[in-house]
Chains A and B, each alone.
Chain A
Amino acid sequence: MKTVGKDRPPLLTIRDLRIEGKSTNGWTRLVDGVDLDLARGEVLGLIGESGAGKSTLGLAAMGFTRDGCRITSGSIGFDGIDLARCGEHVRRDFRGKRIAYVAQSAAASFNPAHKLIDQHCEAPVVKKVMPRAKAEAEAVELYRKMRLPQPEGIGFRYPHQVSGGQLQRAMTAMAMACKPDLIIFDEPTTALDVTTQIEVLASIRDIVEQFGTAAIYISHDLAVVAQMADRIMVLKNGRTVETAETRTMLSAPQEEYTKSLWAVRSLERPRQERGTGARPVMSLKNVDAGYGAAKVLEDVSFDIHCGQTVAVVGESGSGKSTAARVISGILKPSRGEVLFEGRKLPADYLSRSREDLRHVQMIYQMPDTALNPRQSIRDIIGRPVEFYLGLKGREKEQRIRALLEQIELDPAIYMDRRPTELSGGQKQRIGIARALAAEPKFIICDEVTSALDQLVAAGILALLARVQKERDLALMFITHDLATVKAVADEVVVMQHGRVVETGAVETVFANPAHAYTTHLLQSVPEMDPDWLTRRTMSNRAVPA
């Protein structure tokens, strides 16, 4: 961790910046009078929930606003030039050369039609920083510094031929191509698995330190920002909540809002003991399944008991969601069976009875695509009530009201709205209500909080815990976020490459992991300690995995 000297010359000075975005009824403030100072070589972390103006502010540091946005007042001083007022050609010259940008989704930011190295060399050659041959040589050197495999050859691959984590590192290398003074990282690791995230974080931090580049690191995950930044700035609704040195911020946050960013981590739920001898609500027995020739699940077995939450964890591609698809009957297993209350369920959902379908409900990861945008909330929740329970007219209406009250949304306000008029968290609540409307015994929660902000996610998890208790539900909780597992689950199933590597009570597995992969997974979860990444990378290098 670098120490921040007061003597370092300032690079970026943003004063009283206001940015507005066009909405259906006029202009909305996105950034509302933010001051920001960044010295040369300093890393500033920007944190806040979605809609806080983090990305807008990050882009504004390049003198850029998205379509339909405008800078209304304030100044963006970059090395003595006001980017808010200078001509477009000045800004364009700066971008890529002196200020670079690393986007959240590298897969969406690389042009799939060109090789990595061609895209890497474009900026230095076009900006006349260096000739093509030198740019290529430096690219290889940067790939090596970013610890990409085969640094000489990887540049000649197309974006789809490298993994997500490698692509994100290649993008950081590309941002470094012209040795910029400032890099803006916009949630560069949010889309990655924890185990991949740690590698990307370490290489980003190393390269930023080596070149002495100043950086703005945008994230919603305080633990990640803590590893990267010298200073942290908390944003909410386009205003600064507080700014402090990383260590000060972590040990003594001043504002209530900052403290709430810990929300999920502080969530507690009384553990449910499994009744011995009780028949599990849902069990998988020796299930093999795959898509075509590719085998995704191999010999997967686990049980979920009444009133219990079983978390299924593992990185992407480990078969978590496939297991859920087998249980729900979308994917037929090639071997093994799905038992509901000890009775074998037909492999295909089409041959299951309405009663069987009713008892296995799902809550989806993306609330945006889980609700039909053309139906009102009344229709969405009312349909399962009518379909499964046969309620009509007044009875149905009352049931919908009761369900909305249960998920803490006012029926008078929300009953006739459409999903597009709700926030992400509210949509997810409707998704829960739709599952509850069927009065099931078992619900699959597929990454239900990963698209949501910490505070909203905490609310959703608390709601789930409450309804579970009220209705004695069995929950299967698919997640890659181990902090969530600690908060909500009774038992945990760890999956890797389509196999179950470890199962057990959460406390036991977390405190005393029996399998090396579980240990690795647990150690990859960022902690609220600025030295965590340093410690992790040190021990990784000492004991090669």
Chain B
Amino acid sequence: MTRFFQTLKTAPYTAWFGMAVILLVAIIAILAPVIAPYGETAVVGEQYEPWSSQFLLGTDNLGRDMFSRLIYGTRNTVGLALLTTAIAFTVGSLLGIVAAVVGGMTDRLLSRIIDVIMAIPSLILALMLLTIVGASIASMVLVIALIYVAPVFRLARASAQSVVVMDYIQAARLRGEGLGWLVVREVLPNIASTLVAEFGLRFCFVFLFIAALSFLGLGIQPPTADWGSMLKENATLISFGDITPLLPAAAIAVLTVSINFVVDWMLHRSSGLKD
């Protein structure tokens, strides 16, 4: 624990900024019902009301409070992105390490399946799969997770390959250790920093992907508040020179940049560079 705080001390100010924003977003997401002045889907005023003391950021196309929806949107968008990325990483990295450790036919088979997924443009694949299985939150999470298993698998496999040639892996194999031990106890800890850094980066992509799908109408369905669909619903206001609909977009941008600041710092640390 003390080591953790010592590491924090060496963080550059960009990483500090990133961590502060992430912490803030996390607090907002957890305490959404406490912070938000109105309910998520409650119609509380007229259509497109301007910013006022009553409606901090005005109201949207149905007269719902923008500020409240933005806060609830944090919960939905960020929460789902986190869940999706977590699934993609668990599946992708485990399969990737297994492919590297076992090698041979298993490796070839898994790699070719992943190649097939990567060969189809991800947005088109997602739209197609969602049309087949129907647009629901569960299917969206699983479809996006499937798409993001591919790059995670490739990264995990490539980093694990440089670890499996080490003598300590040979020593573990010769000891008679099973696949589970090799994957989880011997290889995974050695590529964890790379995977964590990649997690931050992929999280942003997934996040943008969900926003994009919501914008296209196939992601999080109304009336659930979500930054992507909020942008779509209020796009009309842009032509009147009002920046309100851009606020969800700004929230997406700030969170993405913040995560990347932290990820950059972690990548830098795991690469062992000084200064």
Contacts and interface: CB of A to CB of B under 8 A. Distances in A.
B175 A387 contact: yes
Contacts of A354: 176
A374 B190 contact: yes
Interface string B167-179: 1101111111100
Interface string B54-84: 0000000000000000000000000000000
Contacts of A373: 190
Contact of B189 (A364, A366, A374): A374
B166 interface: yes
A372 B177 contact: no
A245 B189 CA distance: 52
Given A22-B274, A68-B274, A370-B168, A349 B189 contact: no
Contact of B166 (A68, A329, A369, A434): A369
Contacts of A370: 167-168, 171
B171 A329 contact: no
A81 interface: no
Given A357-B176, A374-B189, A364 B274 contact: no
Interface in A318-371: 328-330, 349, 352, 354, 357, 360, 362, 364-366, 369-371
A366 B168 CA distance: 10
Contact of A330 (B170, B177, B190): B170
Given A357-B175, A387-B175, A438-B175, A372 B186 contact: yes
Contact of A362 (B171, B177, B192, B274): B171
Interface residues of B, number: 17
B39 to A, nearest CB: 48
Among B175, B177, B192, find the residue whose CB has the most chain A CB atoms closer than 10 A.
Answer: B175
Given A22-B274, A68-B274, A349 B173 contact: yes
A357 B177 CA distance: 11
Contacts of A22: 274
Contacts of B177: 387
Contacts of B172: 372
A248 interface: no
Nearest to A419: B168
Contacts, number: 49
Given A328-B174, A387-B177, A369 B274 contact: no
A384 interface: yes
A374 B172 CA distance: 14
Contact of A369 (B167, B174, B175, B189): B167
Nearest to B166: A369
A119 interface: no
Contacts of A330: 170, 174
A486 interface: no
A383 interface: yes
Contacts of B185: 375
Contacts of B192: 374
A357 B168 contact: no
A364 B174 contact: no
Contacts of B175: 357, 383-384, 387-388, 438
Nearest to B185: A375
B168 A372 contact: yes
B176 A364 contact: no
B241 to A, nearest CB: 54
B174 A362 contact: yes
A104 B213 CA distance: 57
A374 B188 CA distance: 9
Among B166, B171, B176, B189, find the residue whose CB has the most chain A CB atoms closer than 10 A.
Answer: B171
A372 B176 contact: no
A171 to B, nearest CB: 28
A35 to B, nearest CB: 31
A314 B170 CA distance: 24
A358 to B, nearest CB: 8
Contacts of A369: 166-168
A517 to B, nearest CB: 29
Given A372-B186, A373-B190, A375-B189, A387 B176 contact: yes
A387 B174 CA distance: 12
B122 to A, nearest CB: 33
B152 to A, nearest CB: 20
Contacts of A352: 176
A364 B167 contact: yes
Nearest to B189: A374
Nearest to B163: A372
Contacts of B174: 328-330, 349, 357, 360, 362
A428 to B, nearest CB: 12
B169 to A, nearest CB: 8
Interface in B169-203: 170-177, 185-186, 189-190, 192
A68 B272 CA distance: 14
Interface string B238-274: 0000000000000000000000000000000000001
B190 A366 contact: no
Contacts of A374: 189-190, 192
Interface string A383-422: 1100110000000000000000000000000000000000
Contacts of A349: 173-174, 176
Contacts of B274: 22, 68
A459 B175 CA distance: 27
A384 B186 CA distance: 14
A471 B82 CA distance: 55
A434 B170 CA distance: 13
B156 to A, nearest CB: 16
Contact of B190 (A360, A364, A372): A372
Given A372-B168, A438-B175, 14 more contacts: A329-B174, A349-B173, A349-B174, A349-B176, A354-B176, A357-B175, A362-B171, A364-B167, A364-B171, A369-B167, A369-B168, A370-B168, A383-B175, A387-B177
In the A-B complex, list the 4 residue pairs whose CB atoms are closest, starting with the nearest: A374-B189, A370-B167, A364-B167, A372-B168
Interface of B: 166-168, 170-177, 185-186, 189-190, 192, 274
Interface of A: 22, 68, 328-330, 349, 352, 354, 357, 360, 362, 364-366, 369-375, 383-384, 387-388, 434, 438
24 contacts: A22-B274, A68-B274, A349-B173, A352-B176, A357-B174, A357-B175, A360-B174, A362-B170, A362-B174, A364-B171, A365-B167, A366-B167, A369-B166, A369-B167, A370-B171, A372-B166, A372-B186, A372-B189, A373-B190, A374-B189, A374-B192, A383-B175, A387-B175, A388-B175
